[in-house]
Structure 1
Amino acid sequence: MQLTKWDGHVHSPYCPHGTKDSLRSYIETALDRGLERISFTEHAPLPEGLDDPAPEKDSGMTFEDAERYIEELTALREEYKDQIDIRIGLEFDYFENDVDGTRDIIARYAPRLTDGILSLHYLWIGDRYYSVDYSDDTFAEIVEVMGSVKKAHERYYEGIQALLMTNLGEHQPKRLGHLTLPTKYIKRFPLEAEPDNLIETIKKVRQVDFSLDVNTAGFRKPLCGLPYPYPELLTVTQSLGIPLVYGSDAHLAQDVAADFDFNW
């Protein structure tokens, strides 16, 4: 368990699908809530030439915004250095059908960062990407093409295992975002049984020495009500000695460190 009072997964006004709350407002909220560290992990730009799979084309920052994001956070990190440790990071998407592009984006930005997360938001099935968490209707498309809710989850964990076992370069982040993201819609799509490859996936997290994002955003999703990973799995992660970093996945300032007091 982390000892530092730290929110390790926070977004910003540079998020194409978030609010325009200022970076300073996120930092001030972190200070008000007694945090010692805050990691900004905005969605990285997509690989060049990759068509954004999101319906609203809002998966990541533009290259121009990414430069402004790093510059503004660099100045704020210096300004607040005696009050809070500000980590400058990105949340990098793993694109199964464009691993080279994923690797290139990490190589382009990671050496300039002080934190980072690797996440899977899209699954390549057949000849296109499907969104895991854009909406319950887009997740329904994965359920339909895979044939069941259980198989949809298993396809996601197959993608997570590929992410974990792929060499993405010397600067790749070693923290995995929201391990159980498909449970975002668990109230609409209940699981009939635990995915067969879930525990195997957690063991691979340990095998490659990743830490896990304990992501509390699921508490704030109407069809979820659970963190990612959910509490039963946190017991498994601890038995394996996997480091955990709490993250709010805040897309507005008031959600910094939200729901960190849950019991498991």
Structure 2
Amino acid sequence: MLTDYHSHLEKGTLTLDYLKQFTDQAAQKNIEHFGISEHAYHFYETKNILSNPWVDERRYYAMDDYTALFHEAWDNGIDVKMAIEMDYTPGKHKEMADFIHSYPFDYVIGSVHWIGDFGIDLSDYLHEWENRNLHDIYRGYFDQVVTLAESNLFDIVGHLDLVKIFKYIPVDEDFLLEQFDRATTALSNSRTCVEISTAGLRKPIGELYPDPRLLQMCYDKKIPIVLSSDAHVPGDVGADYDKAVEFAKLAGYKELMTFNKGERKAVPLG
């Protein structure tokens, strides 16, 4: 079986017709478990969790409209999971928990996109990579992955090593492996799964998330996985899944985790 639990409607509309373009593509790719996980920062209800000028310009949805869309889909016999991708925000655990528990999500993705006021995956902030210490960026990023895992608020951690997106990678391998090790140790002690994401193949880094050494640590520490495309347009649903499946099996994985209204179940990878 295959999953694609990470996708976004933000480049289109919150309409059944647009959502169906995603689910149709998933069906064509033989993806049995598919979900939409819109960015939480787009919703008015999350302003008390994450607020900065870049985010606030892009806050234009109401959760009532989002949940109504899924009910419409289900009423029309469309099998799609309702989820959210939250920017993990240190110091906002209560606010994140209150938001998560207010809606019947099938699962929740937690991702690290911000280190303080630095949007690490945004081209608008690309110049900052030359102005900051690379080790500090990586240490700060994986500090958040650790506390994200420790929070146990999330079912899945998104694109585990997103910090490599623009090819800024420490040359000190010992330092890098130390970050990988402490992140995977925290994840292994949590209920959080890791996604193998094909989105990195469409980014400057040009490779899957996570790094092969990082994925191997995940397998060795018995951290479950899902497959995701992080599709922002329908055509990217299930993109490059042949590479993702091969990558997972090479690390030793034989199962994927699936989610339904917060319940989880392992299924054969295939």
Once the two structures are TM-superposed, the CA of residue 11 in structure 1 deviates from its matched residue by 1.1
Partner of 1:191: 170
1:169-208 → structure 2 map (5 Å cutoff)? 172-186=153-167, 189-194=168-173, 195=176, 196-208=178-190
- Match among 219, 223, 239 for residue 201 of structure 2: 219
Secondary structure of 1:95's aligned partner: coil
Structure 1-normalised TM-score? 0.80
Q: How many residues align?
A: 236
Post-superposition Cα deviations, 1:5-42, rounded to whole Å, max 9, x if no partner, equal: 21111111xx2xx3458101001111111111201111
CA contact (8 A) 1:53 1:131 kept: no
Choose 93-102 or 42-51, whichever is displaced more.
42-51
Query: What is the RMSD of the two structures over their aligned residues, measured on CA atoms?
Result: 2.3
Q: What residue identity is the alignment partner of 1:205?
A: L
1:106 to 91, 100, 106: 100
Superposition pairs for residues 91-130 of structure 1, below 5 Å?
Answer: 91-109=85-103, 112-124=104-116, 129-130=117-118
2:4 maps to 7
> C-alpha deviations, 1:48-79, integer Å up to 9, x for none?
345633636356553x2x22121112221342
Alignment of 1:19-38 (within 5 A): 19-20=12-13, 22-38=18-34
The question of whether the paired residues in 2 share the 8 Å contact of 1:91 and 1:119 is answered with yes
Q: What residue ranges of structure 2 are gaps of 5+ in the alignment?
A: 248-270
Q: Which residue pairs with 1:261 in the alignment?
A: 242
Instruction: Report SS of the residue matched to 2:72.
Output: helix
Q: How many angstroms does 1:248 deviate by?
A: 0.4
Preserved CA contact (<8 Å) 2:38 2:84: yes
Give the distance between the partners of 1:179 and 1:51, measured in 2 at CA.
20
AA aligned opposite 1:141: E
1:204, distance to aligned residue in structure 2 (A): 0.9
- Matched to 1:120, the amino acid is V
Matched, 1:55 2:54: yes
Instruction: Determine the C-alpha separation between the residues in 2 that align with 1:238 and 1:60.
Output: 37
Normalised TM-score (structure 2): 0.79
The 1:99/1:154 distance shift into structure 2, 3 A limit, reads same
Q: Name the CA distance, whole Å, in 2 between partners of 1:249 and 1:227.
A: 11
Shift of 1:132: 1.6
